[in-house]
Structure 1
Amino acid sequence: MRIPPLSRLLLFIVVYGLLALFSMSTRDPVTHSTIVWPAAGIVLGTLMLAPYRQWPVWGLVTVALHAGIALLHGRPPAVSLLLSVLNLLIMAGIAAAWRRKAGEPASLTRPDSLFWFVLLVLAGSIAGAYASIAALHGFGFVSVRLNPMVFAISDGVGALIGAPLVVAWAGFQPARSAGAPRRIAWQGLLGFVALIVSAELAFDGPTATSVLASTQYELSYLPLLFVVLIAMAWQRRGMTLALVVLAGIAGLNTYQGEGPFAASAGLLGNPLLEVQLYLGAAALLGLLMAAMNASRDEALREALAWKVRSEGMLLGTRQLMYEVDPRNGSAVWAGQLGELLGLEPAELPTLTAFLERVHPDDRARVAAYAEQRGNGDTGALTQRFRFLTGYNDYVTLQDIGAPVVDFDDTVYRIGGLLRLDERDAGQD
């Protein structure tokens, strides 16, 4: 057993304690349904990241906080201890299974790891709900029939909101932006303000009446649009904060008897359960958008890295790279074209424009090579020819190129490298 850093322990105690107090303070006295159970998500996220040797300490702290706060709200000590231990075991089982499936590094932005996270949370929450009810009946703490959906939805939605919050903000350190466009940051800020305003309009009765002169809450799903916008602009950290804010506004107003779910007669017939399903859908949408956004950013970073590598290689070896579209002969250039040949890419937009600068004695041969490549002949690989530069003199170029054949045996592109042969520079 190893004790976690004191700063993390204190932060965990504060965040877990406040969320647990909030949830138990807004618990339905009849159904015992809470405004989700985000404290379970905080435990789950912590165990998803913490070394296994620290788990006993996190477990002891969790049980002490959970049982203590339950006692403050009048729950019998034995029931408090039983439910706190069961909740810890459920979250620990989900965390251990997810770590085996997702591997390292721990992340919820990869599609496979996100899939296993959602699946394990759903399965674990349902199994834990029935286990908790069975334990309560088995020890004789309750004699009435309990609704397992109350336990399952509270734990499940709380995990979907709380765990990504911990995972996203773990290791956060304030720093200057690494070049993110300021426009994107402002979009995230505007989206966050719009989220708060739209959530208040949708779920707060007095606000809706004063602004819209109506308590019809047709805008209840508008905040989801801004959750997506925040996920796109502020990445997963902003998205997790947006979910917490939305859960607070929607849940608290529903508990007070306001909002579209206050008089719910829907699938579950309980306002707090209905609003939790709404928040669960918001969490899933935000997680999906954050994963898609992370995949896009990773692809862009990889593409940029390869661009830098290829440009460095071309610069260091004094070569040019070209790509020709066989359908229209358009050409794309990479490398120091102006420095090596004294020309700009706009002066060589097509294969025809390039051939016009090839020495008349070499032009027929170069054109024949180009035609062979356009027909898919991989044998026309290398050649040397003289070329008229922008400095009005001829240099000798070495060309290595080949066609790129598509899956249907058609030539998709023709690509290659041009290298300046310094030995024959100036030859007519």
Structure 2
Amino acid sequence: MALSFAVTAGVTFLAWAVAAVLSQSMGDAMTLSSSVWLATGVTFGALLAVKPPKRPAVLAGAGLAATVLGLLDGLAVLPALAFGINEAVAASLGAWVARLLRSTGPDGSMEPGKAYAGVLLGALLTSALGASIGVMLWTWALPQPIAIAVEWRVWATTTFVGILLIAPLVTSLAGFKVKRSGGMATSQFLAGAGTFLLFFVVAALIFSADVSDRFSASLGPTLTYLPLPFMVVTAILWKERGATVATLIGALALIGWTNAGGGPFAEVEGFPGEAVIEIQGYVAVMALLVGVVNALGAAAAQALAQAQDWRTRYRQVLDSTRTVVANFDAKTGAAAWGEGASELLRTNAKVLLTVQDFIAHTDPQEQPALQADWRDLTQGQRDHVLWKNTLRWADGRVASVSARLSSVRGADGQVEQVAALLEVEA
């Protein structure tokens, strides 16, 4: 137990430290502050990804890392500890809110859209609460006065953007296992790589240092959001894990180019640091778009899996009861046969194009009565009919069938379809 706690805390500490160093390397020379803070995203994402017994270890590792960072920045021990506690408290409360919306339903499945909404709400709470406590700690720990509103805005926005970039990445990679099969197809991977490369090419052109010379001062800002569709297509092709990695790489590149003075945001600034705010908004929009795409894709995959599961169960029930499902058009008699019809009927069901083809293979003396039953059904005179026949095929095989045909009426009350359940004797 102690070893597991130490390992989890140590991994969290290292991941938090790497994210903090990377964030500090993305600092803006004008504002002397980081443009994005990824470390809290590590804490937030880990709290969502790990099981409940490991959460205290995550908080301990993140809190210790934040404390060490404070000491390295020149804070005294007590203020540094306070900043470490702030990291743990803000992230834990935000992750708790996110988990409330990530909770599984009665069938044990998680709603992806609801879960992503939880991440957004939790990120807002973590960034706002952390910023509020943080500025109070700064006023207590620093001898000189600080611009509270500016510090709060910088802390909140950088933390919020960092959580949007890192938390989905952590949760998507939490259950990752190397598989020999069942992964992304090569063609799909290459298509995603192509769109990701296009994103970088277009983004590099627009966020270059001479963007106004290339596109003119008025056209450059207009083209700012042109790279985003390529990132969205990449997310669709690469699914959640690949999309979160691509989003993080793309976001860091955009922030780095802007901090270096490139792109339309840096060329036109109304006040010092405006470009940082604008690129933060830009990256947040990109992360939100990818997050929504991932949520929609996960919901579609979940629905497909449930449909396939029910399809399998449905087929098993039909096979075990030797039942065939068919649907006939009331006007034309065109037939649509369910799965397994050919095996049970002992013939190729595709050749039975209409109900008349079906009737033609019954005993000749029974056919007039069957035709009359069909007319009664399609004309609305009867709702159900029962047929019990022996079907004789051209190859000499036979199939004894008990069928129940029921009329299906449309909104106008007229019979549109005839549904049939055919039980085939063994």
TM category (shorter chain) comes to 0.7 to 0.9
Secondary structure of 1:415's match?
strand
Partner of 1:320: 324
Name the CA distance, whole Å, in 2 between partners of 1:138 and 1:412: 77
CA 1:379–1:79: 2 relative to 1, 3 Å: same
Name the CA distance, whole Å, in 2 between partners of 1:294 and 1:209: 40
Compare 40-49 and 101-110 and name the one that shifted more.
101-110
2:225 to 221, 224, 228: 221
Partner of 1:151: 155
Once the two structures are superposed, what CA deviation does each residue of 1:23-76 show, in whole Å capped at 9, x if it has no partner? 123334664542211111110011123344433332232233223335445567
Name the CA distance, whole Å, in 1 between partners of 2:244 and 2:85: 27
CA contact (8 A) 1:343 1:390 kept: no
Partner of 1:55: 55
Q: CA deviation at 1:101?
A: 3.5
Name the CA distance, whole Å, in 2 between partners of 1:257 and 1:274: 13
RMSD: 3.5
Once the two structures are superposed, what CA deviation does each residue of 1:231-261 show, in whole Å capped at 9, x if it has no partner? 2222110111011101110011111111122
Compare 155-164 and 269-278 and name the one that shifted more.
269-278
Name the CA distance, whole Å, in 1 between partners of 2:67 and 2:258: 26
If the length of structure 1 is used for normalisation, what is the TM-score?
0.84
Amino acid at match of 1:126: A
Partner of 1:93: 93
Partner of 1:118: 120
Partner of 1:426: none
If the length of structure 2 is used for normalisation, what is the TM-score?
0.84
2:333 to 323, 326, 329: 329
Once the two structures are superposed, what CA deviation does each residue of 1:88-119 show, in whole Å capped at 9, x if it has no partner? 21111011222234224999861222222212
Once the two structures are superposed, what CA deviation does each residue of 1:311-366 show, in whole Å capped at 9, x if it has no partner? 34444444322122335433211244444445434322223333333433223332
Amino acid at match of 2:23: S
CA 1:318–1:107: 2 relative to 1, 3 Å: closer
Compare 232-241 and 388-397 and name the one that shifted more.
388-397
Compare 270-279 and 73-82 and name the one that shifted more.
73-82
Once the two structures are superposed, what CA deviation does each residue of 1:362-406 show, in whole Å capped at 9, x if it has no partner? 233323433454466785153212434242566432103434556
Aligned residues: 420
Partner of 1:128: 130
Is 1:21–2:25 an aligned residue pair?
A: no
Secondary structure of 1:177's match?
coil
CA contact (8 A) 2:101 2:117 kept: no
Is 1:277–2:277 an aligned residue pair?
A: no
Is 1:305–2:330 an aligned residue pair?
A: no
Partner of 1:160: 164
Once the two structures are superposed, what CA deviation does each residue of 1:272-331 show, in whole Å capped at 9, x if it has no partner? 121111111111111111111111112222222333333344444443221223354332
Structure 2 stretches lacking a partner, 5+ long: none
Compare 257-266 and 163-172 and name the one that shifted more.
257-266
Is 1:353–2:379 an aligned residue pair?
A: no
CA contact (8 A) 2:346 2:397 kept: no
Amino acid at match of 2:265: F
Q: CA deviation at 1:421?
A: 3.7
1:4-403 equivalences under 5 Å are 4=4, 8-28=8-28, 31-73=31-73, 80-104=80-104, 110-137=112-139, 142-146=144-148, 147=150, 148-178=152-182, 180-205=184-209, 216=220, 219-265=223-269, 270-326=274-330, 328-341=332-345, 343-374=347-378, 379-391=383-395, 395-403=399-407
Name the CA distance, whole Å, in 2 between partners of 1:242 and 1:326: 53
CA 1:96–1:336: 2 relative to 1, 3 Å: closer
Name the CA distance, whole Å, in 1 between partners of 2:407 and 2:269: 66
- Paired-residue identity, %: 25
CA contact (8 A) 2:13 2:64 kept: no
Structure 1 stretches lacking a partner, 5+ long: 423-428
